[in-house]
Amino acid sequence: MEIERSVSLLQYMEDEGLVPSGKEEIRRRNVIVKLKQIVFVWAKKIAYEHRLPKSCIRAASATIITYGSYGLGVHNHESDVDALCVGPGFATRAEDFFIVLRNMLENRPEVSEIYCVKDAKVPLIRFKFDGVSVDLPYAKIHGISVPEDVDVFNPFIFANMDEISWRSLSGVRANRSIFQLVPGIETYKSLLRCLKFWARRRGIYCNLFGFFGGVHLAVLVAVICQRHPDTWLSALVSIFFKTFAFWAWPTPVILFHDIVPTHYLHTEKSLMPIQLPCSLNEYCRSYITTSTFGRIREEFLRGHYMTKDVLSSNFDWKILFEPFSYAYHYARYFKIRLSSSDRNELRDWVGWVKCRLRSLLVKLEDLLGFCDPNPTEYVDATLQAPNTVFFWGLKISRSHKIDIDAIKKEFVKNINSGSERALGKIDLSVVKVSELHDMNPERTEACRWVSDGNGQRIPVASNYMAQEWRW
């Protein structure tokens, strides 16, 4: 029966389009090959521009390392590619990466929608290459030549590395640590693919909104697979929900390198601390609040009760993955409408605001006790300007008084901090559920797209300032 349930789950994921086709895989591999060729030429170009000796120019090189969901092999046909550019020590980030390399990419006919995200925790260039979305951060090592198979754990290569390069490298190191520590990697991939889909459907997958990001789920799933090797996929789903539904938070979740200790040393101030698998002192960046913590735990409990009978003959996977119904759970919503006169400015505006939404969420929690920050993006068709709209679920009674003007004034002050000018307009209001129904019903992938006002979707700088790395 375990075999049958596991096979049915795999078939369900394939039917939902979670497994990319062979043609899509080839296209992504070709993109990586071309990017490696570009950065190899780029390294020699900037070595020449830096007037290095001819021997150094000949030796100069850079490479591309994939990570995140693509690096783990859990991407789908809509997923972007996280690709780290590792360059030589003489290649600067401000000039050589963000100007020279960007111009080289922009001049390629395969590249479109290119722009730089310079102020993020992990700065990067974002673009489409042959239609594939790519996020390209930069890390430099102390040396002239970067081997294609560079050892990301070599202490000599990465000694005295600058902080931004180290952060940029953490996604690659986390991926490779998981591959080293998790048995049955194919089962791990299937389980992670399944649970990422579940988290999106249930509205708890978006790090900037206080929920899980890809790295959080990647570690949680790795812990389950590490503790339960040689277990069938269907059983692992049930074990996952049972384990974390009753986890003694804030006890940290740790993917151990050897024997599981019985005592934990934890100083991370987080409601749901999850340690990075590549470091004993670093934890996954978390924006979880009291409200989102409660929502995540509710979903863990729901998953647990729904999968207790996973081996029964009448078990249906579709029930577990039913989308969370906001209209059923909330009668009032906090509406956030972002708009701009230009679609490109809207992209930057939404990205800029998103990375500061946590302060707004905490403010609403202080006033109302609870707020569910739905990551789904909607379009207000009544507004001609390009826009995107969010509806956050509220549990309020008539006795609750909300000073929208004061909330907006405080939040606008927050989002204008560090910005030379306002990139767009923001409108805040409390609305009834009927307005949610009136919005464009198209549900886009959390944190990835906005509307241009003409029925078209454009990519948004989803982790504009708070990006750790995306999976």
Residues taking part in catalysis:
69, 80, 82, 135, 196, 205
Phi, psi dihedral angles at 154 (to 5 degrees): -70, 115
Q: Which amino acid is at 107?
A: N
Q: Which amino acid is at 368?
A: L
Q: Residue 73's CB: how many other CB atoms inside 10 A?
A: 17
What separation in angstroms does the CA of 81 have from each of 75, 123, 177? 9, 15, 19
Give the separation between CA 468 and CA 471, rounded to whole angstroms: 10
Closest C-alpha among 395, 403, 243 to residue 307: 243
Strand duo 387-394 + 124-129: pairing: unpaired
Give the separation between CA 32 and CA 16, rounded to whole angstroms: 26
214-227 vs 233-245: helix crossing angle, rounded to 10 = 110
Half-sphere exposure for 86 (CA within 13 Å, toward CB):
26
Closest C-alpha among 18, 10, 74, 62 to residue 470: 74
Give the separation between CA 29 and CA 459, rounded to whole angstroms: 22
